[in-house]
């Protein structure tokens, strides 16, 4: 069996989008060890194709030359092939230090010598699933989409810890690391939470990182009795399990949006500055709201962190009632 090292991307959404590559490699007989930063590693623990996940001890954005060299040398002789998913130079250092015979990745930031099979960088912003599948050396079939799975008892345990019943709660992921140009307004989230709670009686769990806790608290305060704030209080692995056990989800274009898609959850994704043509939720039960055509905004997609015009119409123009209607349709389609 071929022993393969996979150097994972640093963002949750990108990690989810790499799952079809993991499935393809495992199906052809490769035993996969994924080296991932700690905040991304839980995503790979929900992939059935991955045999082992190693949390990397490196700081975000730092070269950490000595630590990478020490870990790489400790892995000498362990792997036959390495797939380097990020395009950075530092991501290619680990398999190079490990002396992995075949080191595959895109040209990225050059990386001459670090990789001995360098694929040409695709133009523009390609869809991420075929981008990663290209590293396998054969073409995407066109029907691949990410899939994550937990055992039912894992989902039940996460729900019990949060004080909810599987299938009887909603999850919102109202934040986005990239910036406010991807964030649907808090007032809209609050209005939607109130409407869903009033109609169905199910609580809404607000998920996200510690950086998004204040946003989630503001949403909960504006929707009294409807929400429970778990942002910053729940590890990613547990947040993923809660998403997998939920009735439905609403989010911005974010990493947790892709997690919900990979679980096949009924969901609505609100896009603003980014484009669903680049990073859509690959889920037959997903509904995407992107108002480029309706609003006739030539600036969409701008891919900027903040709106250079200051109006954020691409997001404010998406009403809570419309999102609720789309979520109901998504849930009906999956029932």
CA–CA gap between residue 287 and residue 87 (Å, rounded): 31
Which of 81, 82, 177, 86 minimizes the C-alpha distance to 131?
A: 86
Residue 153 pLDDT more than 60?
Answer: yes
pLDDT tens per residue across span 49-95? 999 999 999 877 778 889 999 999 999 999 999 999 999 999 999 99
Fold: same for 2-136 and 154-334: yes
Over the stretch 181-208, which tens digit does the pLDDT of each residue have?
A: 889 999 999 999 999 999 999 999 999 9
Q: Which segment, 25-39, 128-142, 172-186, is predicted with the most confidence on average?
A: 25-39
CATH number attached to the domain at 154-334: 3.40.50.2000
Residue 2 has pLDDT above 80, yes or no: yes
From the number of C-beta atoms within 10 Å of its C-beta (0-12, 13-18, 19+), residue 153 rates as: exposed
The residues spanned by each domain of the chain are 2-136, 154-334
Torsion over CA of 236, 271, 179 and 183, rounded to 10 degrees?
Answer: -80
What pLDDT does residue 140 have?
66
Mean pLDDT over residues 6-15, rounded? 95
51/293: higher pLDDT: 51
Distance CA 136, CA 105 (A): 10
What pLDDT does 335 receive? 57
Question: pTM to 2 decimals?
Answer: 0.93
Q: Which range scores top for mean pLDDT: 209-213, 227-231, 297-301?
A: 227-231
Query: Per CATH, the architecture of 2-136 is what?
Result: 3-Layer(aba) Sandwich (3.40)
Tokens, residue 32: 């996969």
Residue pair 6/102 in contact (Cβ under 8 Å)? The answer is no
Query: Which range (13-22, 172-181, 204-213, 230-239) has the least confidence?
Result: 172-181
Q: What angle do CA 185, 277, 106 make, to 5 degrees?
A: 115
Residue 28, C-beta contacts closer than 8 angstroms, at least 6 positions apart = none
The angle at the Cα of 271, spanning 265 to 272, to the nearest 5 degrees, equals: 165
What percent of the chain is predicted at pLDDT more than 70?
99
Residue 110 is predicted with a pLDDT of: 82
**Cα separation values, 334 from 256, 327, 328, Å:** 20, 11, 10
pLDDT tens across 13-57, in order? 999 999 999 999 999 999 999 999 999 999 999 999 999 999 999
Beta strand 52-55 pairing with 30-36: parallel
At residue 63, the pLDDT reads 82
Q: CB neighbours of 199 closer than 8 A, spacing ≥ 6? A: none
Predicted confidence (pLDDT) at residue 245 exceeds the cutoff of 90? yes
């Amino acid at each position: 069996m071929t022993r393969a090292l996979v150097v994972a991307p640093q963002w949750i959404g990108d990690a989810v989008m790499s799952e079809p590559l993991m499935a393809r490699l495992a199906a052809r007989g490769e035993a996969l060890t994924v080296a991932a930063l700690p905040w991304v590693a839980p995503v790979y623990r929900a992939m059935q194709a991955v045999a082992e996940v190693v949390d990397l001890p490196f700081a975000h954005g730092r070269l950490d030359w000595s630590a990478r060299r020490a870990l790489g040398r400790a892995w000498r002789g362990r792997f036959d092939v390495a797939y380097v998913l990020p395009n950075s130079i530092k991501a290619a250092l680990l398999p190079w230090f490990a002396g992995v015979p075949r080191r595959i990745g895109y040209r990225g930031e050059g990386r001459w010598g670090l990789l001995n099979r360098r694929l040409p960088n695709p133009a523009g912003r390609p869809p991420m699933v075929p981008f990663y599948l290209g590293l396998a050396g054969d073409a995407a079939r066109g029907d691949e989409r990410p899939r994550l799975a937990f055992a039912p008892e894992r989902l039940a345990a996460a729900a019990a810890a949060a004080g909810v019943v599987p299938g009887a709660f909603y999850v919102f992921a109202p934040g986005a690391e990239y910036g406010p140009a991807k964030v649907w307004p808090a007032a809209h989230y609050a209005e939607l939470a109130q409407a869903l709670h009033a109609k169905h009686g199910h609580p809404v769990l607000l998920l996200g990182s510690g950086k998004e806790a204040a946003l989630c608290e503001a949403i909960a305060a504006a929707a009294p009795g409807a929400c429970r704030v778990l942002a910053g209080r729940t590890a990613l692995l547990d947040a993923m399990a809660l998403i997998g056990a939920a009735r439905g989800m609403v989010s911005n274009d974010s990493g947790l949006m892709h997690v919900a898609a990979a679980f096949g959850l009924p969901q609505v994704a609100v896009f603003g500055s980014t484009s669903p043509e680049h990073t859509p939720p690959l889920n037959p039960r997903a509904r995407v709201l992107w108002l480029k055509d309706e609003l006739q905004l030539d600036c969409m997609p701008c891919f900027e962190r903040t709106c250079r015009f200051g109006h954020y119409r691409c997001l404010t123009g998406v009403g809570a009632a419309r999102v609720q209607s789309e979520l109901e349709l998504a849930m009906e389609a999956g029932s």
